[in-house]
Every structure is written in structure tokens, then in C-alpha cells.
Amino acid sequence: MPVAGAIETSAGRSIAGGDLTTGRAAFIERAQTRGDLFVEQPYGLYSEANQETWRRLYRALAGKWERYAHPRFLDGVARLGLDPDRIPRLEDINRFLEPLSGFKARAVSGYVPAYLFFDCLRRREFPTTITVRDGDRLDYLPEPDIFHDLAGHVPMHTDPAFADVLVRFGEAARTAALRVRDGDCRSVESALRALARFFWFTIEFGLMRRPGGAGLCAYGSGLLSSAGEIAHSLESRRVQRAPFQLEWVVNQSFEIDSLQPLLFVVDGFRHLEGEVRRLERWLGEGRLDNVAPGEPAVSREDLRSFLDAGRQ
């Protein structure tokens, strides 16, 4: 039976009306029903429970960032003035971020189709989730939330060299889309899988050599936004840490719902950018039209986004 103040969804489910908890936010449900992908951040809807979740996550991660994160990430946290006690307002983040790298965080209502996501990066916009994960499952993240996006991704965007790498991903996606004007679904699907794997093993779960020193550090947002994963990625003997190899990465399946057993290490930002350029070249030459099957699955929506972009 629906509770007072709840909203009945099209699927007949009732959702709590008052906050911005992932999977239960009426504001998001309404935006999705209207087909609005880009939205405002309705800051007043964050409940005290949402704010408390942010505080707990921040407390769990701050010490680990000091120990395991790339120094540029720590710089970024300081430059953005991330508040340990309050969910940030995107407009405040952008006031600091845009002058540093031209990037800005842009609120979205949910999943962004793959081509559109990469094309946003090309235009220096970062699609940003505004909901907060459920406080009962702090370290479980079935989909991005604002902590993953703002605390995990955005501090790295303050670095101009890293920001350029993200733009190159957008260019690579464009190259892939333009090549498939004839609507060859198989090669588009393969190119998309290659792009997604590369993004996963770098921007989401990448390790980097410590600048000017020994050892490794984390720059991938999936590591930086997970208290369980960040230490595991750098300390566990169960993790295989391999030097980045493009041929391997684009053919390597991954799983999203367990601690990552295999991670790839780049030497630095220039190395990473060079590899994204090589990815783009290979996409343009058709060398990634038959990468190994496996995860991630490519959705029809993602496929369609590339085919539509190629026709324009």
C-alpha cells in the first residue's frame, strides 16, 4: 500500500517522495518519465540521511586518499573545496573547476547513452549523478551516485592534462561513430566494447606510477570512491597489476560487482593520453572491429546512440 507522500510510478511501484536516495528519488523518476536527461540539482531535496551518507563516505575515504590517491587528486580535492560535511552544490564545484580545466559538472537524471556520454566529455562537460547511495549499503554501488561522480571523478578534472585525456575519449568515440555510417552493428558493438573497457581500466579503475617516486597510486574513480576497493587495489596480493597494454585492455572482460582482480598501470598522464590517441587511431583504422566477446554487454540504447551519431 502506498505511504503518505509517496508517488506511484508507471510500474506501479511506490517511491518515497522526499529525498534523493539512489533508486528511490521521486524527482529523478519524474525527470525520467518526462525524458529529461539533463536536470537541475534540487539541493533542498537532500535529506539529513543523504547528508549523513555523504559524511560517512567522506570520513571513510579521506585517510585512504592521503595514503593511496594520486597527488593530483589530493590537489583537486583541496582546490574544489570539497566539504566533508555537506553534499556539494554543482554550481559551487563549477565555480572552481571551470577556470582550472574548462570542465564543468552537469547534473543528469540517470544513465547517459554511451555516445552522448563521450560527446559530453569532448565538450568538457561531465554528466554527474545527483542522487546519493543508500546509507545501509555504503560500499555497494550498483550505479554511480554523487559521491562516486563528485568525490571520485571530479577532483582529477581539475588537472589540465587529465582533462585533456577525457576530451580525447570524446574524440575517439566520435571517430568510432563516424566510421560506421553504413550501420554495421557488429563493428560498432565491438568498438563500443573496446572504448568501454579502456575507460573502465583507466578512468574508473586505473593505477599510475607515483610521480617521481617508487610505488603506485590510484587515479581511477571507482577506486577513489570505494573504501573497500582503494586499499585492496594497492595492497592485496590477489590483485594482478599489469603494465598497461592496449591490445590486452580492449580484449579484457570485466565484472562490475566484485573487487577487481586485475588492474592496469600507466606511467603518467602523457602515457595515458598517448594510449587514448592510439585507441582512437585503431578505432579509425578498423582494428577494433572484432575485439573479444564478453563483458561489458552493449545495450541497444548504447548501440543506437553510436549509430545515430554516425548518421548525422
Candidates 101, 187, 190, 225; catalytic one:
225
Shortest Å distance, C-beta 144 to Fe ion? 5
Q: Which residue's CB atom is positioned nearest to Fe ion?
A: 221
Closer Cβ to Fe ion, 199 or 269, answer by number: 199
Shortest Å distance, C-beta 248 to Fe ion? 21
Identify whether 275 is a catalytic site residue.
Answer: no
Burial of 136 (0-12, 13-18, 19+ CB in 10 A): exposed
Specify whether the CB–CB gap between 233 and 263 falls below 8 A: yes
Specify whether the CB–CB gap between 112 and 37 falls below 8 A: yes
Closer Cβ to Fe ion, 15 or 223, answer by number: 223
Closer Cβ to Fe ion, 143 or 308, answer by number: 143
Shortest Å distance, C-beta 266 to Fe ion? 17
Residue ranges with strand state E in the chain: 7-8, 14-15, 104-108, 125-129, 207-209, 216-218, 240-243, 262-266
Distance CA 69, CA 86 (A): 22
Give contact residues for Fe ion (rule: CB under 5 A): 221
Closer Cβ to Fe ion, 225 or 252, answer by number: 225
Shortest Å distance, C-beta 170 to Fe ion? 15
List, as one string, the DSSP characters of 266-301: ES-HHHHHHHHHHHHHHHHHTTTTTPPP-SSPPPHH
Closer Cβ to Fe ion, 128 or 221, answer by number: 221
Shortest Å distance, C-beta 101 to Fe ion? 17
Identify whether 204 is a catalytic site residue.
Answer: yes
Half-sphere exposure of 156 (CA within 13 A, CB side): 28
Distance CA 176, CA 180 (A): 7
Catalytic residues: 148, 153, 204, 225
